[in-house]
Structures are given as structure tokens and as C-alpha cells.
């Protein structure tokens, strides 16, 4: 904000006698403001055209244009209409004079000889008012400047957001198109390798059969990658169908889908009561499938495995979590967990394409939530996702 003390107000002193002007300057110089003098009404009008004034001290009786005539012309100008005018006179005040003065815009009359303290006090009031006006104008100007900056930043942000949406749309379309284009040659490769294996199996030695199997496994893995890439693309393109989602029922359905992976496993399940949410049931089902499938997979070396499912209800969001005692991960790589095709474990240890948690993050973000994870190598991990409570009452 502008320093109020740095602003100096202009004070116009108008009198046809130089001695009176000198006396006025001597009395008012203590106020530390800009004192501007004029000896005629015409000169005073020129000053008013060039400057704004906190107050004008105007002699009533002057040769040529009188003080009252000068005041009337000052008031006729829009910019100086509100400028306070104090009349100075050595004449006996008559009712007619007072009426004429106030009609011309006077705010006060002072009789000559002037009382220095009274004059200084009256002028000081108008100086303070001028400083307050100046400070208010500066504050308004600063707020306008800030508002314009915010408006420009918002415009730039909207443009960047539009550019990002367009880029994401292009990327999703590209992924969808490329995935479809890659599927056909992969099918051909897999088919020809299978035909080769079937027709020439008796002619192939162990090393050659191993090469054929390697090609088949590679094509199958590539097919899974493409399928996951397509699924990731669809998540960003699919319409949202919001309704109340019974989370416990989704978890029960997920257990049924994971049935074959749970066979011959000793898993200690800890399920806490979790609240329902408003969202897309199909998308939320994918979240639970990915999180619980990961927990089952990465606890495979544990006997017994421990998997806990719960939620913490806050004022603005519900935080759901899946905690396990599996192989865990190093926290310095936590930012890679939710990236596409990002994996922290070798394919030889745990199968996967590195798309599951990326799907989870994208689904949760579309619901207005967030995702994160905590883990310790060899001791397990906890994956969290939050969803806003707004609209869930």
C-alpha cells in the first residue's frame, strides 16, 4: 500500500496582496504541504485546471474577478466541484455576502486579521481528508490491478486447462487407435508360432522349443499390455454414472472374482465397516479389483498373509485403505507406483503390466479424490484412496 506520509496535498492561496499571501504561507508552511499562490481570480482558475487541491483559501474582494465569481467558476467544473473553499475577508460580513458565498460553494468564512492557530487547524482537517481520499484511490487502483492480474492468470489457466484436455483427448485417442492396430499383427504372430509348434514339434530340439515358447509368452504379455492400455484409455473416455455405491457389496463381488487366486492360500482377512459413497459403481469396482488383487499377489510369499480393508471418515473426505504384510516397497519410489507401466518388482517375481494402480488413480481423480501409498520393503504396504464426502449425505 502507498505510504500515506509520502503524499503531499496541494493548497491554493488566492489573494491580490502579496503581504497577505506571505502571511498565509508563513502560517501554513508548518503543515508541510504544497502551497501554491495566485494573485487574481483568472490565475487561480488556471491553477485549478492544472492541479487538484485539498482546499482553496480565497480572498473575497479582488480587482477584476471577485472571489465569489472565482468560486462559482471553480464549482462549475466537474473535477473541482467538490473542492472545499474557505473565503477570507476583511469586510464586515452581511447576510447577502454570506448567502452569495455559500451559494458559490464556500464551506467556511474567516475574518481578517486571521487567527493563525484557527486557520492552521481548519486547513489541517481538509489536508487529512485529502490524504484519506488519496489513500483510498491508491487502494482501489491496487485492487483493480490485482483483479486484472488474477483475471489474466485465470485466463491463462483456462487456456492451459483447455490445452491439457485437448492433449489428453488426443493421447487417449492415440492409445486407443494404436492398441487396436497392434492387436492384429500380434494375433498373427501368435497364430503362426502356434502353427509352427504344432507342425514341427517333432523336429524341434529342446532349445528351439524354448525359443518358440519365449515368443508365445512375449506375444501374450504384449497382448495383456495392449488390453490394459485400452482399459486405461477407456477410463478417461467413459461417461460417469453417479449413484450411491455400496462399497461392501463391491468388495464381496471382488472376492468372488478373485476366487481362483485365493485357492490354497492362507489369508487372514480383516474387514472393517466402511461407508458407501456416491460415484460410478463400475469404475469403483475396478478400484477394489486392482487393490485387492495386488494385495493377494504381493502377499504370496507370506503364510499366513494378512490383508486389512478399512476406512477413516473425515469432515470433508473418506479415506479407504488396503493394508497387507507382503513384500512392500521402498518409499523413495512411491511416486512411481501410480504411473502407467511403472513396476517396482521384476516380472519373474510377480506378473503384471504396471497399469492397475494407474487405473486406480485415474478413476479416483475422476471422482474428485486422491491416491497415495506407504510401504516398507519386506514388511508390507498400505494403499490409500480418498473420496469427497460432498453429496454423500
246, 275 contact by CB (below 8 A): no
User: Alpha helices of 238-319 — where are they, by DSSP H?
Assistant: 247-257, 259-262, 281-298
Residues in the chain with pLDDT < 70? 1-5, 91-99, 101, 104-105, 168, 170-172, 174-180, 182-183, 221, 224-238, 339-354, 390-393
Phi-psi region of 189 (alpha: psi -120 to 50; beta: other; left: phi over 0): alpha
Say which residue the cell 471422482 belongs to: 367
- pLDDT tens track for 252-293: 999 888 888 888 889 999 999 999 999 988 889 889 988 999
The confidence score (pLDDT) of residue 1 equals 47
The confidence score (pLDDT) of residue 7 equals 84
Cell output for 239 = 461417461
Say which residue the cell 497364430 belongs to: 191
The confidence score (pLDDT) of residue 393 equals 45
Element of type H or E holding 164: helix 116-200
The confidence score (pLDDT) of residue 93 equals 58
Distance of CA 39 to the CA centre of its chain: 59
The confidence score (pLDDT) of residue 317 equals 93
| Whole-angstrom distance, CA of residue 67 vs CA of residue 65 | 7
- pLDDT tens track for 26-47: 999 999 999 999 999 999 999 9
- pLDDT tens track for 123-152: 999 999 989 888 888 899 999 999 999 999
Sign of the dihedral defined by the CA atoms of residues 65, 69, 70, 74, in that order = negative
247, 320 contact by CB (below 8 A): yes
Nearest CA to 57 out of 25, 31, 95 is that of: 25
| Whole-angstrom distance, CA of residue 380 vs CA of residue 321 | 13
Amino acid at each position: 500500500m502507498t505510504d500515506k506520509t509520502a503524499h503531499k496535498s496541494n493548497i491554493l492561496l488566492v489573494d491580490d496582496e502579496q503581504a497577505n499571501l506571505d502571511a498565509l504561507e508563513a502560517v501554513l508552511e508548518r503543515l508541510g504541504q504544497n502551497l501554491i499562490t495566485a494573485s487574481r481570480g483568472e490565475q487561480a482558475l488556471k491553477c485549478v485546471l492544472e492541479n487538484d487541491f485539498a482546499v482553496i483559501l480565497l480572498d473575497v474582494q479582488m480587482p477584476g474577478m471577485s472571489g465569489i465569481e472565482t468560486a462559482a467558476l471553480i464549482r462549475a467544473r466537474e473535477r473541482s466541484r467538490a473542492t472545499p473553499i474557505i473565503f477570507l475577508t476583511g469586510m464586515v460580513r452581511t447576510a447577502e455576502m454570506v448567502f452569495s458565498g455559500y451559494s458559490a460553494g464556500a464551506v467556511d468564512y474567516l475574518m481578517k486579521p486571521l487567527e493563525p492557530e484557527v486557520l492552521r487547524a481548519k486547513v489541517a482537517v481538509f489536508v487529512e481528508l485529502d490524504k484519506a481520499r488519496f489513500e483510498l484511490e491508491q487502494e482501489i487502483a491496487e485492487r483493480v490491478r490485482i483483479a486484472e492480474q488474477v483475471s489474466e492468470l485465470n485466463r491463462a489457466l483456462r487456456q492451459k486447462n483447455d490445452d491439457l484436455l485437448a492433449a489428453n483427448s488426443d493421447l487417449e485417442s492415440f492409445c486407443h487407435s494404436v492398441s487396436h492396430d497392434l492387436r492384429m499383427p500380434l494375433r498373427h504372430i501368435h497364430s503362426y508360432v502356434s502353427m509352427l509348434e504344432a507342425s514341427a514339434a517333432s523336429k524341434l530340439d529342446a532349445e528351439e522349443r524354448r525359443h518358440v515358447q519365449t515368443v508365445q509368452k512375449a506375444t501374450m504379455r504384449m497382448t495383456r499390455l495392449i488390453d490394459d492400455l485400452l482399459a486405461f484409455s477407456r477410463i478417461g473416455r467413459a461417461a460417469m454414472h453417479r449413484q450411491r455405491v455400496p462399497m461392501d457389496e463391491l468388495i464381496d463381488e471382488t472376492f468372488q472374482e478373485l476366487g481362483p487366486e485365493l485357492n490354497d492360500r492362507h489369508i487372514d482377512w480383516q474387514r472393517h465397516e466402511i461407508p458407501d459413497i456416491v460415484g460410478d459403481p463400475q469404475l469403483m469396482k475396478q478400484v477394489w479389483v486392482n487393490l485387492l488383487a495386488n494385495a493377494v499377489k504381493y502377499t504370496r510369499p507370506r503364510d499366513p498373509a494378512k490383508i486389512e480393508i478399512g476406512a477413516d471418515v473425515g469432515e470433508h473426505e473418506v479415506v479407504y485403505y488396503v493394508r497387507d504384510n507382503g513384500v512392500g516397497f521402498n518409499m523413495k519410489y512411491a511416486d512411481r507406483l501410480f504411473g502407467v507401466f511403472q513396476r517396482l518388482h521384476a516380472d519373474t517375481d510377480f506378473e503384471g503390466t504396471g497399469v492397475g494402480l494407474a487405473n486406480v488413480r485415474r478413476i479416483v481423480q475422476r471422482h474428485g479424490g486422491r491416491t497415495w501409498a506407504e510401504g516398507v520393503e519386506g514388511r508390507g504396504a498400505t494403499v490409500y484412496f480418498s473420496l469427497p464426502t460432498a453429496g454423500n449425505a
